[in-house]
């Protein structure tokens, strides 16, 4: 997001609340996060504040920022919010973004607004596709030879969370277990399963390089246009990716760019039919990357965000 705004000619200051995750700072009377944010605004006088995946500012500080500096305030959020999706913590996530919703000018959520039941004004809600950046999603998996694994999927219990959480159940494991049982001849590369720790960064990409195709699974029921951010790291890096047809990504992509399925049987059959045709797989992976970058690159998305914020 920051790179997209900068590429569009804007000046950006990034402030990470994660540097102040001590609850004494967050919840205490001398709230360091709020103080630092207001201090930045005093010195910088921003035209726009984008709350990225958080909503920690006290109401009086939001009012001060909007009144004193005439700043617009937007919020983007990428975790589950849809009540029909029954995704993890969707109620808690929704209550987080609803806080001070009358003072927040506009929202951008990766859960499509059609799937959100909220007291936030519908006029403020906008769908946010997961963006890609040319320097981050810079791999061309379709150009790599000797990809001896058929299909890739990586499961974790939180972004960059190094270990699986004990006792945590995940409905995606049920689907994966059924797929493996019904189609034992497919050569799988599934990470984060059977007590194997998740992999990140270079280790993640090294595993991706071994695979011909990938599976995009998000927590909860599939919802319109809704996906975890793994979709960008898969399609954006040029690996042919399968996604549940109920997400309606076929509105944007054809079957030669993204694979869709209605059932485990259909998914397994499509993988089996393709796994011995590397040229077709590579062509599909390249076409998917090209289309994703055309539609959802961060320059285009952040330009649209600015247009929405200022009602252009």
Q: Is the pLDDT of residue 9 over 60?
A: yes
49 CB-near residues (< 8 Å, 6+ apart): 41, 65, 71, 72, 73, 74
Q: Considering the domain boundaries, does residue 22 fall inside one?
A: yes
Full DSSP string of 50-116: EEES-----HHHHHHHHHHH--EEEEEE-S---TTTT-TTHHHHHHHHHTTTTT--EEEESS-GGG-
Neighbours of 32 (CB within 10 A): 15
Same domain? For 285 and 145 the reply is yes
Token pair in block for residue 252: 């944007």
Identify which of 227, 162, 217 has the alpha carbon closest to the alpha carbon of residue 192: 162
Instruction: Express each pLDDT in 191-220 by its tens digit.
Output: 877 666 778 888 889 999 999 999 999 888
In a domain, 183, yes or no: yes
User: What pLDDT does 83 receive?
Assistant: 77
Confidence of residue 22 (pLDDT cuts 50, 70, 90): low
Whether 122 and 202 map to the same domain: the answer is no
Would you state the pLDDT for residue 163? 57
| CATH number of the structural domain spanning residue 164 | 3.40.50.2000
Q: What are phi and psi of 119, to 5 degrees?
A: -90, 0
Nearest residue to 208 (alpha-carbon basis) of 286, 152, 127 = 152
User: What is the pLDDT, as a whole number, of residue 312?
Assistant: 84
Q: Are residues 52 and 118 in the same domain?
A: yes
Judged against a pLDDT cut of 90, whether residue 156 lies above it is answered with no
Place 117 in a pLDDT band, splitting at 50, 70 and 90.
very high
Q: Give CA–CA dist 110/301, Å, rounded.
A: 12
CA distance 80 to 77: 9
Give strand pairing partners of 259: 242
24: in domain: yes
Q: Are residues 97 and 28 in the same domain?
A: yes
Q: How confident is the model at residue 165 (pLDDT cuts 50, 70, 90)?
A: low
Higher pLDDT, 20 or 105: 105
pLDDT for 32: 79
Inside any domain, residue 115: yes
Assign 33 a pLDDT band (cuts: 50, 70, 90). Answer: confident
Whether residues 150 and 288 fall in one domain: yes
- The whole-angstrom separation of Cα 226 and Cα 244 is 10
Provide the pLDDT confidence category of residue 105 given band limits of 50, 70 and 90.
very high
Least reliable range by pLDDT among 108-112, 157-161, 262-266? 157-161
Instruction: Give the structural domain span for 145.
Output: 141-295
Query: Is residue 136 in some structural domain?
Result: no
pLDDT in tens, 38-67: 999 999 999 999 998 788 889 999 999 999
Q: Are residues 302 and 261 in the same domain?
A: no
Yes or no: say if 117 and 85 are a contact pair by the CB < 8 Å rule: no
Q: Count up the domains in the chain and report the number.
A: 2
Which secondary structure element, helix H or strand E, spans residue 272, and what is its range? Answer: helix 264-274
> What pLDDT was estimated at residue 157?
53
Cβ proximity of 208 and 214 under 8 Å: yes
Q: How confident is the model at residue 172 (pLDDT cuts 50, 70, 90)?
A: confident
What is the per-residue pLDDT for 113?
A: 95
Asked whether residue 233 falls in the same domain as residue 266, the answer is yes
Residues in Cβ contact with 280 at an 8 Å cutoff, skipping those fewer than 6 apart: 274
Q: Please tell me whether residues 113 and 148 are part of one structural domain.
A: no
- The Cα–Cα gap between 210 and 83 comes to 37
Based on the domain organization, do 220 and 246 belong to the same domain?
yes
At residue 244, the 3 state secondary structure works out as strand
Mean pLDDT taken over the chain: 90
16, 110: one domain: yes
Whether the pLDDT of residue 292 is over 80: the answer is: yes
pLDDT value for 129: 96
Q: Are residues 109 and 184 in the same domain?
A: no
* Mean pLDDT (whole number) for 94-117: 95
Residue 56 has what pLDDT? Answer: 84
Q: What is the pTM of this model?
A: 0.91
Cβ-contact 229, 99 below 8 angstroms: no
pLDDT, mean of residues 268-297 = 97
Same domain, 92 and 8: yes
pLDDT at 229 over 60: yes
């Amino acid at each position: 997001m920051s790179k997209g705004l900068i590429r569009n000619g804007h000046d950006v200051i990034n402030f990470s609340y994660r540097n102040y995750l001590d609850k004494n700072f967050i919840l205490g009377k001398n709230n360091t996060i709020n103080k630092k944010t207001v201090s930045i605004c005093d010195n910088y006088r921003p035209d726009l504040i984008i709350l990225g995946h958080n909503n920690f500012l006290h109401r009086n500080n939001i009012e001060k920022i909007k009144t004193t500096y005439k700043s617009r305030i937007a919020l983007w959020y990428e975790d589950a919010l849809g009540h029909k999706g029954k995704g993890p913590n969707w109620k808690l996530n929704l209550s987080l973004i609803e806080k001070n919703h009358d003072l927040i000018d506009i929202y951008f959520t990766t859960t499509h607004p059609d799937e959100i039941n909220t007291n936030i004004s519908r006029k403020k809600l906008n769908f946010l596709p997961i963006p890609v950046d040319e320097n981050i999603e810079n791999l061309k998996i379709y150009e790599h030879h000797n990809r001896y694994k058929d299909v890739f999927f990586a499961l974790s219990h939180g972004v960059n969370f190094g270990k699986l959480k004990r006792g945590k159940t995940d409905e995606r494991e049920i689907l994966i277990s059924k797929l493996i049982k019904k189609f034992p001849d497919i050569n799988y590369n599934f990470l984060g399963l059977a007590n194997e720790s998740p992999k990140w960064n270079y280790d993640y990409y090294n595993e991706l390089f071994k695979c011909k195709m990938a599976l995009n699974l998000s927590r909860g029921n599939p919802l319109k246009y809704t996906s975890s951010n793994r979709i960008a790291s898969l399609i954006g890096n040029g690996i042919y990716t399968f996604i549940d047809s109920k997400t309606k990504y076929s509105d944007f992509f054809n079957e030669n760019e993204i694979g869709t399925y209605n059932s485990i049987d259909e998914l397994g059959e499509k993988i089996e039919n393709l796994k011995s045709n590397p040229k077709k797989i590579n062509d599909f992976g390249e076409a998917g990357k090209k289309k994703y970058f055309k539609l959802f690159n961060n320059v285009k998305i952040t330009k649209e965000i600015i247009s929405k914020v200022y009602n252009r």
